[in-house]
A and B are shown apart, each in its own frame.
Chain A
Amino acid sequence: MTTPAGEGVAERLTSLVGALRAHGIRVGTGETVDAGQAIEALGLTDRELLREGLAATLLHGTGQRLVFDPVFDLYFPRGVGGPEGKSAGRENLRDRLAAALAADDQALLGRLAVEAVDGFGGYGSSPESDGWSSYQTLERLRPQTLLARVRDDVRGQGGSSGFADRLLEDEIRRRIDSFRALVATEARRRVAERRDRDELARRAVAPTADRVDFLFAGKARLAELRRAVQPLARKLATRLAARRRRASRGTIDLRRTLRGSLSTGGVPMKPVLRRRRPARPELVLLCDVSGSVSGFSDFTMLLVQALHDQFSKVRVFAFVNRVDEVTALLRHGTADPEGLSARIGAEATLTGWHDSSDYGTALGEFAEIHGDAVGPRTTVFVLGDARTNRSDPNPPAVRRIAERARRVYWLNPEQRSLWGTGDSVAPLYAELVEMHECRNVGQLSALVARLLPV
C-alpha cells in the first residue's frame, strides 16, 4: 500500500474517523487511540489486515460495516494513480475477465477492475480527463454478458460435478456482482484523488439500512430493511416478556395473606402476592397500501407481519379508498412481504371507482363497518402519508375512532417539514391523533419501543 507524501497515518486515521462520524457512526476518542495502537501493532504492509484491525477497534455493530468498507477504501486506497502501461483493449480485457471469473480468482479480479476503470471509465477532456465513472466502465465492459461464456468454460474444464452444477449460473452471477462492486470502489478511489476526499466520503457512501427513507427504498434495500425489522420484532417480544415478568412480582394481597394465616394461629407465615390479570393488548393496524407510498407499504407489510408474529390479537386493515380486513391473509411466519402485497391486492377490495387513496372515505368506511374492531383496550396504528388527493379528509371519522380506542397513533413516512404541503392533510389529522414522523428503521424502533402497549 502506498501513502502519498505529506500525509501522516495519524492524520489519515483522524479524517477516516471524521468521515465515519459524518455517517452517524459514533466513534469516541478512546477508539481512535485504540485504532492507532492497532495500526502500530499490525503495520501498514497488509491492507486487508489493517482493514480488519481498524474495523475491530472503531466499530461497534455489524451494520456499520457497510459504511466502513467504502470509507476505508477511500482513505487507505489500494494504490495511487492508474496502472502502468496502456490497456490492451476491450475484447482482450473481456477475455481475461472471463478467465478470472471462471477461476474465481479474487486478487486477479481486483487488478482487472483497476485496469477496466483506467481503460474505460474516464470521461471529460483527455488526456487528463475530468472524472471516472463506474457506470460507464460497466456499460462498455458489460460483464453480465459473460455469463454464458464463463459457464461453458467452467463446464468445459470438467469443473462440473453432477448436482452442484445447477448452482453454477447463480454462483457466476454472484461473482459478476462482486466484480461490479470492485469497479465501483476503484472508480470512487480515482475520483477521490482529484476531488476532496472528505466531501466524497460524505456523499458517495450509502447510508446504513436504519437511516434509509422508506419511501425511497429500492428492491435491494428492502431486503436489507427486512433484516433490520426482523430483529426489531424479536427485540420487542423479549422486552414484552421481561415487562410481564416484572409485573407478576406484584404487591402483597393482605386479605388472602390473613386468611392463609388462620391455620398458623394468626401468624402470617406465607405472604400471598396480589395476582394481576394482564390486560391483553389489542392492536389494530390501518395501512395505506396505495401506489404513492409503495416503498412504505412494502415496509408496512414487513412490520405488520412482524407484529402479527408477536401479538396474538392483531387485526390488520388495508385501504386505498375502500377498506378491507386482511388479517386472514397474514399467516404466521410467512416472511414474504412482496407476495403478501400481491395477495392483498388480489384478494381484498381496496379500491372503488378510482385507484388513488382517499383517506376520508376509507376512514369513514372503517369507522362505520369495522367500528366494533376498536374498543377501550385497543391501540390503533394508522400507517400512511395522509395525502388524500384533494378529497374530503373526513375528520369526524378519525375523531370517532379516537374516541373508541385506547390510543391512536399515526405513523407518517414523510418528513415533518412536508406535512401540509400539496394535498397532505397531515396537520389536520395530527390535531386529532398523535402523529409521528417515521421515515426509517431507526425512527421506527424508537417509536415502537415507546408507543407499543404492554
Chain B
Amino acid sequence: MFTSVDDVSARLAETGYLASPAVATTVFLADRLGKPLLVEGPAGVGKTELAKAVAEVADARLVRLQCYEGVDESRALYEWNHAKQLLRISAGRDESWDETRTDIFSEEFLLTRPLLTAIRGDDPKVLLIDETDKADVEVEGLLLEVLSDFQVTVPELGTITATRRPFVVLTSNASRELSEALRRRCLFLHIGFPDEELERRIVRLKVPGLDEALARSVVRVVGALRAMDLRKVPSVAETIDWARTLLALGAGTLDETVVRASLGVLLKHQEDVLKASAKLDLDAL
C-alpha cells in the first residue's frame, strides 16, 4: 500500500491527518508486516481519526466495530436472520425437512457483523475496532482468532478465511488492561500529545482562519497546561476547539480576559480551572 515512511506521512497529510514520525513509521510497518495495529493514548489525540485517514488513503471501505460493555459474538461476528428463516420455513410447507434445513443455513440468511464483513470480499477494507478496552474479556478471545489468522468459523458454513487481509486498527484508552495474547498479535503504537510544531500545523490545518501568531500562543498555553499536574489535561481535540472558540470570539491575541473566559473549553474539571488560573496568574488583575 505504501512505498516508504515518507510516503505514508505525505499521503496521510493529503487527507488532513498530520502524522508524527512515530505514527507514520508504525502505519508503514503494520502495512508491510500485515499485522494489526494497536493504538493507545489519551482521548482526543486522533486514534480513531488515524483509521479513517488510512481508509481514505487506501481508498478502502471502513468497517467499524464499536466496542462497549456487553458486546458479544452476535454483534461482532455474525448472527442468523431468524425472522427470515421462519418465513422461509413457513413458505416451503411441503418440502422435506432436509431440504429446508440445508436451505435456511445458507449465506442468504446470514447477517454479517463488522468482523465477518471485514474478512469477506475482495475489496480493500480497513477494520477499526474502536475502544477495545470497553469490551468484556470474552470478546478478546474472539478477536484472537480473527486477528492471527484472519478467519472466522461459522459452524453451519465452515471456516471463512480472508482472501484479502484488511488493515486492522484497534484503539484503546487503557481503561482496562488488554490481554497479553492480544497485544502480542499487534504492533503497538502509543500516540501521545504532539510536539509544539506539529500541533501548530494541526491547528492551522483544522482552523484555517486562525493567524500564525495566535496559533503559536494557543499551542504554547496548551503545552503549559499539559505540564501542570491536572486531573484531565487538554488534548489535541480541545486545542482545536479552543482555537475555534477564539476565532468565534474574534480574539486577535491572547490576554487574561479571553483566556479566563474560555478556559472551560480546555479544562473539564473545576479544580483544574482553579489550579490553572493560579499558575497562569489569571487572578493577578
Q: Does A18 contact B (CB under 8 A)?
A: no
Q: Does A238 contact B (CB under 8 A)?
A: yes
Closest chain A residue, CB of each to CB of B192: A62
Interface flags, A301-332, vs B, CB<8A=1, else 0: 00000000000000000000000000000000
Q: Does A140 contact B (CB under 8 A)?
A: no
B40 touches A57 (CB 8 A): no
B220 touches A42 (CB 8 A): no
B5 touches A238 (CB 8 A): no
Q: Does A263 contact B (CB under 8 A)?
A: no
A162 touches B255 (CB 8 A): yes
Interface flags, A36-63, vs B, CB<8A=1, else 0: 0110011000101100110111011110
Q: How many residues of B contact A (CB 8 A)?
A: 46
A171 contacts which chain B residues (CB < 8 A)? Answer: 220, 223-224
Complex: how many Å from CA A26 to CA B181?
12
CB distance from B173 to the nearest CB of A (A): 10
B33 touches A163 (CB 8 A): no
Closest chain A residue, CB of each to CB of B272: A335
Complex: how many Å from CA A170 to CA B229?
14
Q: Does B190 contact A (CB under 8 A)?
A: yes
Q: Does B150 contact A (CB under 8 A)?
A: no
Closest chain B residue, CB of each to CB of A173: B227
B183 touches A60 (CB 8 A): yes
Interface flags, B169-203, vs A, CB<8A=1, else 0: 00000111100100110011110000010000000
B180 contacts which chain A residues (CB < 8 A)? Answer: 26, 60
Interface flags, A220-261, vs B, CB<8A=1, else 0: 000100000001001100100010000000000000000000
Interface flags, A403-437, vs B, CB<8A=1, else 0: 00000000000000000000000000000000000
B29 touches A162 (CB 8 A): no
Q: Does A31 contact B (CB under 8 A)?
A: yes
B176 touches A56 (CB 8 A): no
A60 touches B175 (CB 8 A): no
Which listed residue (B174, B187, B216, B271) contacts A164, Cβ 8 A?
B216
Which listed residue (A26, A60, A61, A164) contacts B254, Cβ 8 A?
A164
Query: A30-B184, A161-B217 are known contacts. Are A170 and B227 too (CB-CB below 8 A)?
Result: yes
Q: Please indicate which of the listed interface residues A30, A49, A104, A234 has the most CB atoms of chain B within 10 Å of its own CB.
A: A49
Q: Does B231 contact A (CB under 8 A)?
A: yes
B19-27, B58-66, B116-124, B234-242: which lies at the interface: B19-27
B26 touches A242 (CB 8 A): no
Query: A60-B180, A167-B220 are known contacts. Are A162 and B21 too (CB-CB below 8 A)?
Result: no
Complex: how many Å from CA A62 to CA B174?
10
Which listed residue (B5, B30, B183) contacts A61, Cβ 8 A?
B183
Interface flags, B149-179, vs A, CB<8A=1, else 0: 0000000000000000000000000111100
Q: Does B88 contact A (CB under 8 A)?
A: no
CB distance from A82 to the nearest CB of B (A): 27
B175 touches A231 (CB 8 A): yes
Q: How many residues of A contact B (CB 8 A)?
A: 41
B30 contacts which chain A residues (CB < 8 A)? Answer: 56
A335 contacts which chain B residues (CB < 8 A)? Answer: 231
Q: Does A166 contact B (CB under 8 A)?
A: yes
Complex: how many Å from CA A62 to CA B221?
25
Complex: how many Å from CA A162 to CA B257?
12
Which listed residue (B21, B22, B29, B231) contacts A57, Cβ 8 A?
B29
B227 contacts which chain A residues (CB < 8 A)? Answer: 170, 174
A53 touches B29 (CB 8 A): yes
A41 touches B33 (CB 8 A): yes
Complex: how many Å from CA A38 to CA B37?
14
Complex: how many Å from CA A3 to CA B254?
49
B259 contacts which chain A residues (CB < 8 A)? Answer: 163
Q: Does A34 contact B (CB under 8 A)?
A: yes
Q: Does A334 contact B (CB under 8 A)?
A: yes
Complex: how many Å from CA A167 to CA B196?
14
B229 contacts which chain A residues (CB < 8 A)? Answer: 223
A234 contacts which chain B residues (CB < 8 A)? Answer: 175
B255 contacts which chain A residues (CB < 8 A)? Answer: 162-163
Complex: how many Å from CA A235 to CA B271?
23
B256 contacts which chain A residues (CB < 8 A)? Answer: 163
Complex: how many Å from CA A375 to CA B237?
49
B40 touches A333 (CB 8 A): no
Query: A161-B213, A171-B224 are known contacts. Are A333 and B271 too (CB-CB below 8 A)?
Result: yes
B245 contacts which chain A residues (CB < 8 A)? Answer: none
Q: Does A156 contact B (CB under 8 A)?
A: no
Which listed residue (B25, B253, B254) contacts A42, Cβ 8 A?
B25
A34 contacts which chain B residues (CB < 8 A)? Answer: 33, 35, 187
A62 contacts which chain B residues (CB < 8 A)? Answer: 40-41, 174, 190
Complex: how many Å from CA A53 to CA B189?
10
Q: Does A28 contact B (CB under 8 A)?
A: yes
CB distance from A132 to the nearest CB of B (A): 29
CB distance from B55 to the nearest CB of A (A): 20
Complex: how many Å from CA A18 to CA B87?
62
Q: Does A12 contact B (CB under 8 A)?
A: no
Which listed residue (A41, A166, A235, A238) contacts B28, Cβ 8 A?
A41
Q: Please indicate which of the listed interface residues A34, A60, A166, A235 has the most CB atoms of chain B within 10 Å of its own CB.
A: A60
Q: Does A203 contact B (CB under 8 A)?
A: no
Which listed residue (B21, B216, B221, B254) contacts A52, Cβ 8 A?
B21
Q: Does A65 contact B (CB under 8 A)?
A: yes
A231 contacts which chain B residues (CB < 8 A)? Answer: 174-175
B220 touches A164 (CB 8 A): yes
A42 contacts which chain B residues (CB < 8 A)? Answer: 5, 25, 28-29
Interface flags, B6-41, vs A, CB<8A=1, else 0: 000000000000000110011011101101000011
Interface flags, A147-185, vs B, CB<8A=1, else 0: 000000000000001111011001100100000000000
Beyond known contacts A62-B174, A163-B259, A164-B221: 4 more, CB 8 A cutoff: A37-B32, A61-B183, A166-B281, A242-B69
Give 27 pairs: A residue, B residue, CB < 8 Å, sorted on A.
A30-B184, A34-B35, A37-B32, A41-B33, A46-B5, A49-B21, A49-B25, A52-B26, A53-B25, A53-B29, A56-B30, A56-B188, A56-B189, A57-B187, A59-B188, A60-B180, A60-B183, A60-B188, A62-B174, A161-B213, A163-B254, A163-B256, A166-B280, A167-B223, A235-B177, A333-B231, A334-B271
List the 7 closest A-B pairs by CB distance, nearest first.
Answer: A163-B254, A60-B183, A164-B217, A52-B25, A167-B224, A56-B26, A52-B22
